[in-house]
């Protein structure tokens, strides 16, 4: 593998889990944009949304993404809303291989049941978010992978065959 791999897709699609698996398999560093933001501020994503709001979070997210310009081989799991900014969509496509992890709303609801770490779900339904973002994920990614029926390692292996 010569390049950076960016995982995009809805919350609960498995970006963080599959990204960790891929980085272990490929023996390259793993990054998660949400974890990087949390470390930078010393606050959880939910706390950042609560205290500073989504607009500020998106600014941090854009800045964090830019730090990958100078990095080489690695796996990057992004936050589900990274594609909302045109600047990020362009950056992702021109700086690595972009994989859209796709999951249906039922799968996502099941996976995120009882989860209180994703503040946006308090305001918007999963269906609405999919509706708003599906096209953006599709046009940003080099290819997509359906994740509803497979385990994390199976999804990881399917990505490896397509890279
Ligand atoms: N393919 C899968 N099968 C079953 N559970 C999964 C799968 N992918 C992710 N999960 C579970 O769904 C939840 C959200 O996964 P996560 O990797 O954090 O997704 P994302 O980073 O895309 O929001 C976690 O509890 C994770 O264990
Ligand atoms: O879809 C979104 O807008 C968000 C997804 C989250 O990341 P995951 O996709 O890893 O859950 C996190 O960045 C934040 O809660 C906002
Ligand atoms: Mg994640």
Tell me, what's the pLDDT at 2?
A: 62
User: Residue 59 falls within a domain, yes or no?
Assistant: yes
CA nearest neighbour of 37 among 61, 53, 19, 17 = 61
The predicted model gives 132-146 an average pLDDT of 98
Q: How far apart are CA 74 and CA 20, in angstroms?
A: 11
Give the position, in ligand 2's atom list, of the atom nearest the Cα of 16. 10
> Is the residue at 160 inside a domain?
no
Closest atom of ligand 2 to 37 CA is 13
Half-sphere exposure of 40 (CA within 13 A, CB side): 14
Q: Indicate if the pLDDT at residue 1 is higher than 70.
A: no
**Quick one: average pLDDT of 143-162?**
98
Domain count, the chain: 1
Can you give the CATH number for the domain in which 75 is found? 3.40.50.300
For 15-37, how does the pLDDT look when each residue is reduced to its tens digit (9 = 90+)?
A: 999 999 999 999 999 999 999 99
pLDDT attached to residue 158 = 98
149 among annotated binding-site residues: no
End-to-end CA distance of the chain: 8
Is 162 a member of any domain? no
Ligand closest to 118 (CA) is: 2
The set of residues, in sequence order, having a beta carbon less than 8 Å from that of 127 and lying 6+ positions away, is 105
The answer to whether the beta carbons of residues 145 and 99 sit under 8 Å apart is yes
Can you give the pLDDT at residue 10? 98
Distance 61 CA to ligand 3 centre (A): 13
Is 163 within a domain?
Answer: no
| Ligand 3 center from residue 150 Cα (angstroms) | 18
Residue 135, judged by CB atoms within 10 A of its CB (0-12, 13-18, 19+), counts as exposed
Q: What range does the domain containing 92 cover?
A: 4-155
């Amino acid at each position: 593998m010569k390049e950076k791999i960016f995982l995009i897709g809805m919350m609960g699609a498995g970006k963080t889990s599959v990204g960790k698996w891929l980085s272990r398999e490929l023996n390259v560093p793993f990054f998660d944009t949400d974890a990087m933001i949390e470390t930078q501020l010393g606050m959880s994503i939910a706390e950042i949304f609560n205290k500073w709001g989504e607009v500020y979070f998106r600014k941090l997210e854009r800045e964090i993404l830019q730090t990958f310009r100078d990095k080489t081989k690695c796996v990057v799991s992004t936050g589900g809303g990274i594609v909302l900014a045109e600047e990020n969509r362009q950056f992702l496509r021109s700086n690595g291989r972009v994989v859209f992890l796709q999951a249906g709303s039922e799968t996502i609801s099941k996976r995120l049941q009882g989860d209180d770490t994703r503040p946006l779900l308090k305001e918007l339904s999963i269906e609405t978010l999919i509706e708003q973002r599906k096209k953006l994920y599709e046009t940003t990614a080099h290819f997509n992978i359906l994740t509803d029926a497979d385990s994390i390692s199976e999804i990881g292996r399917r990505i490896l065959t397509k890279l």
